[in-house]
Structure 1
Amino acid sequence: MCKVLKLNCSSYFKWKSRPICNRLLLKEKIKQQIITIYFASKQRYGSPRITFELNSLGYKISRVTVAKYMKELGLRSKLSKKFKITTHSKHNYLVVKNVLDRNFIVKTFSKVWVSDITYIQTKEGFLYLTTIIDLYDRKIIGWSLSNGMSTEETSLAAWKMSIKNRKIGKGLIFHSDRGVQYASNKFVKTIESYGVIRSMSRKGNCWDNAVAESFFKSLKTELIYGNKLITREKMELEVFEYIEIWYNKKRRHGNPKLPNNRRV
């Protein structure tokens, strides 16, 4: 090879015996950490969250540098797709005003819960996932995965899990879209019996429920898109693992009120 490159053999051996500088050693160490974090997150983290993880481990590194190293390693987070609108808001039930008004940062537990419903495609048809999130720690405190979209299967089922997992705070605001599952008499009477204040997004405005929408984007990006269709039973297990093992306990979140953006 030295002959091909027209180099002296002595120059090659001199270069080979030279110790690696600390800067290169640190770079290789960081790259190994990036690989570890990337696959520990099941390829769900991009450069922003990997940067957070590295900083929490004591590495002083910018997002730009992490993105550069990820490109060199051929790593990239799973990409998202656009959502299909599933809200059925053409009904005769009473809707309420937007009390939350996009105030997504709260200081204590059980001050604001937000909820939404999305679809998940399987080999055997659609499943419908209903979630309820406490805005304080962004934890999924209640959820339901169903074959149908009735109130009993969706909003009520998720509500029953929520009140088992977390105590209702005084003056709790429950925010959702205008879907029939949240406006029906059965659901309204149930939550109002707990003294809950109802709040609904404005018509056709997904940003009014941005935190719930953000969770569904993460779920579909990190679990659904890019993977093969599976059975309903298998999907139920996958969703359980994603919510209860990954999202609620391990995934880094963006609420600035939480220390290091982690779960409490």
Structure 2
Amino acid sequence: MIFSFMEKHQHEFRVVKMCEVLEVSSSGYYKWLKDKWKRDRINKEKEKINQKINLCFIESHGTYGSPRITRELQVHGLSLCERTVGKRMREMGLRATPDTPYIVTTDSNHKHFIYPNLLERQFMVDAPNVAWVTDITYIWTIQGWLYLASVMDLFSRKIVGWSIGTDMKKELPLAALQQAIMVRDPGEGLIHHSDRGAQYCSNDYTNLMLERKMSGSMSRKGDPYDNACIESFHATIKKELIYRYQWETREGAIKSIRHYINEFYNTRRRHSTLGYLSPVDFEQAYNKRRLSVAG
């Protein structure tokens, strides 16, 4: 209290005189002042770091936990251990959105041809357009249901094609596959993996696969783990976006989903399986390595 008083009035009275009147040592005062400056500097630095952590959390739409925020900070030149970031997040009350349970929606009761499981849960591939996985999920709005069909490249976990509509007819996943083909133009032999849903077994869908010389692959009946990566993406978009908002209209939901996939998931969201790079950054790094080897 005495030293705080002295600091407040040091521009009005000489320090030596105040020490004499208040019966304290000048060395004690200057040591206290030096320690205070050090504490203030540490607190300011801590506040700056907390602001950066909070910004990363906000920019991830509240989806990043300490592992991804740690990597995000490292990219921007701030090296903190994951434990420290986790502690700061708890102090600020920042908690990533929790996981939600898996719900089965596939209708595999049909008489169409079923492809064998060529993928066999080999989810790590060494180049783009070696294997794609696809699935359909559902989204509720006040206006009614929407259905999202997505196509993922296993190499980078990038969503290379997607389509959204008001029903689960074959045209929905077909549009997603057509978009993926248009964007990626894959060569022949690509493994196309899906569940056994009737949409993926329809003539129009399988004819497009044959036209592009894709190798069909399908999950075993009732086994979502055979298609775990695309199931994981749909669980992620539900956890990070769909379950956090209530849309009045389908149009509003579609706009949000488009932004999430194109402006966040593919381009910015850090994936632990990719060394905490985004799908786009992971593919860019791959292309740079290829160019350096070719050069």
TM-score (norm 2): 0.80
1:100 aligns with 119
Deviation, 1:36, is 1.1
Which one has a bigger Cα radius of gyration? 2
Tell me which of 2, 16, 24 is aligned to 1:9.
2
Tell me which of 86, 110, 119 is aligned to 1:91.
110
Could you tell me how far apart the structure 2 residues matched to 1:84 and 1:121 are? Answer: 14
Residues 112 and 175, structure 1, Cα contact 8 Å, conserved in 2? yes
Residues 111 and 170, structure 1, Cα contact 8 Å, conserved in 2? no
Tell me which of 70, 85, 96 is aligned to 1:51.
70
Could you tell me how far apart the structure 1 residues matched to 2:247 and 2:173 are? Answer: 26
Kindly provide the amino acid, as one letter, of the partner of residue 39 in structure 1.
Answer: I
Residues 195 and 219, structure 2, Cα contact 8 Å, conserved in 1? yes
Change (3 A) 1:141 1:185: same
Residues 110 and 172, structure 1, Cα contact 8 Å, conserved in 2? yes
Could you tell me how far apart the structure 1 residues matched to 2:137 and 2:33 are? Answer: 58
Could you tell me how far apart the structure 1 residues matched to 2:277 and 2:256 are? Answer: 27
Structure 2 unmatched runs, 5+: 8-28, 285-295
Change (3 A) 1:108 1:73: same
Structure 1 residues 220-262: Cα deviation after superposition (integer angstroms, max 9, x where no partner): 1111113224211111111111111111111112333x78455
* 1:162 aligned onto 2:180: yes
Structure 1 residues 181-217: Cα deviation after superposition (integer angstroms, max 9, x where no partner): 1112221111111110011111111111111011111
* 1:185 aligned onto 2:203: yes
Could you tell me how far apart the structure 1 residues matched to 2:47 and 2:133 are? Answer: 43
Which structure shows the bigger proportion of residues in helix conformation? 2
Greater mean alpha carbon deviation, residues 14-23 or residues 52-61: 14-23
Deviation, 1:172, is 0.3
1:147 aligns with 166
Could you tell me how far apart the structure 1 residues matched to 2:201 and 2:212 are? Answer: 16
RMSD, aligned α-carbons: 2.0
Deviation, 1:24, is 4.5
Larger RCO, structure (CA 8 Å, separation 6 or more): 1
Structure 1 residues 70-90: Cα deviation after superposition (integer angstroms, max 9, x where no partner): 010111112232233211111
What secondary structure does 2:145 align onto? strand
Tell me which of 61, 76, 81 is aligned to 2:95.
76
Structure 1 residues 109-130: Cα deviation after superposition (integer angstroms, max 9, x where no partner): 1101110100000001110000
1:4 aligns with none
Residues 269 and 278, structure 2, Cα contact 8 Å, conserved in 1? no
Could you tell me how far apart the structure 2 residues matched to 1:163 and 1:145 are? Answer: 17
1:208 aligns with 226
Change (3 A) 1:28 1:262: farther
Tell me which of 231, 254, 258 is aligned to 2:272.
254
Structure 1 residues 18-56: Cα deviation after superposition (integer angstroms, max 9, x where no partner): 213565554333212101111111212111211111122
Change (3 A) 1:31 1:98: same
Could you tell me how far apart the structure 2 residues matched to 1:155 and 1:146 are? Answer: 10
Kindly provide the amino acid, as one letter, of the partner of residue 105 in structure 1.
Answer: M
Residues 147 and 168, structure 2, Cα contact 8 Å, conserved in 1? yes
- How much identity, in percent, do the aligned residues show? 40
What secondary structure does 1:20 align onto? helix
Kindly provide the amino acid, as one letter, of the partner of residue 192 in structure 2.
Answer: F
Could you tell me how far apart the structure 1 residues matched to 2:228 and 2:279 are? Answer: 19
Residues 128 and 145, structure 1, Cα contact 8 Å, conserved in 2? yes
Could you tell me how far apart the structure 1 residues matched to 2:166 and 2:147 are? Answer: 6
Kindly provide the amino acid, as one letter, of the partner of residue 224 in structure 2.
Answer: C
